[in-house]
């Protein structure tokens, strides 16, 4: 693992992926990308190290051929939640407190998963009107709807960053 500053001011992340997890993660032997800031590169490096650790322990089970068909609930439970607890899905440096994690899990369990849990992670992205029609009643009944919206956006942003789907 290394992050080096390039001549043009960007930061290049080079990370060798172990052979036993390359197929599980859908990556080649060498992961090599450039980022605008060192912080971005470090976040991706941490995320990849967690993904490698999870893949080695058998937690990561993304079928590479059907990445976009991952169910929202499975993506939340198996892929998004651990990086969230580590503080990687936000722009802040500190990870969330135990109380915040507890409330986040409750918001997902009570409000988000009953609405979006059965859809594939890519389907709502391709059908923006679906998201609007599903979340509008929740906006009318839940006082702090911005929290729900930000968590939904965070899940989709994380899926995009992991290249589970691409924005259209």
- 46 within 8 A of 63, measured Cβ to Cβ: no
Instruction: Read off the DSSP letter of residue 162.
Output: T
* Rounded mean pLDDT, 27-51: 85
* Span 101-159, pLDDT tens digits: 999 999 999 999 999 999 888 887 778 888 888 888 988 888 888 999 999 989 988 88
- Band (pLDDT 50/70/90 cuts) for residue 166 is low
Specify the pLDDT at position 64: 41
* Rounded mean pLDDT, 85-112: 88
Of all residues in the chain, the percent with pLDDT exceeding 70 is 90
Across the chain, what does the average pLDDT equal? Answer: 83
- Band (pLDDT 50/70/90 cuts) for residue 68 is low
Specify the pLDDT at position 112: 93
Going 137 to 143 to 146 to 151, the CA torsion angle's sign is negative
Residues 6 or more apart in contact with residue 70 via CB below 8 angstroms: 62, 79, 120, 121, 164
Specify the pLDDT at position 164: 67
**Domain architecture of the chain: domains with CATH:** 2-57 (no CATH), 65-161 (1.10.150)
SS3 state at 31: strand
Q: Residue 31: how many CB atoms within 10 A of its CB?
A: 18
**51 alpha-carbon distance from chain centroid:** 11
- 123 within 8 A of 130, measured Cβ to Cβ: yes
pTM beyond 0.75: no
For the record, the structure tokens of 80 come out as 């998004």
Report the distance separating Cα 88 and Cα 7, nearest Å: 28
- Band (pLDDT 50/70/90 cuts) for residue 54 is confident
User: Could you tell me the maximum CA-CA distance found in the chain, to the nearest angstrom?
Assistant: 53
**96 alpha-carbon distance from chain centroid:** 16
């Amino acid at each position: 693992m290394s992050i080096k500053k390039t001549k043009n001011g960007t930061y290049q992340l080079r990370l060798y992926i172990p052979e036993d997890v390359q197929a599980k993660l859908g990556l080649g032997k060498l992961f090599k990308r450039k980022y605008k800031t060192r912080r971005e590169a470090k976040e991706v490096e941490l995320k990849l190290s967690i993904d490698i650790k999870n893949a080695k322990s058998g937690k990561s089970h993304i079928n590479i051929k059907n990445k976009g068909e991952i169910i929202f609930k499975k993506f939340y439970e198996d892929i998004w939640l651990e990086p969230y607890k580590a503080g990687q899905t936000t722009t802040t440096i500190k990870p969330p407190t135990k109380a915040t994690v507890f409330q986040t899990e409750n918001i997902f369990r009570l409000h988000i998963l009953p609405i979006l849990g059965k859809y594939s992670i890519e389907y709502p992205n391709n059908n923006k009107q679906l998201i609007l029609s599903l979340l509008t009643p929740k906006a009318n009944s839940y006082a702090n709807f911005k929290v729900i919206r930000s968590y939904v956006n965070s899940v989709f942003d994380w899926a995009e960053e992991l290249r589970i789907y691409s924005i259209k």
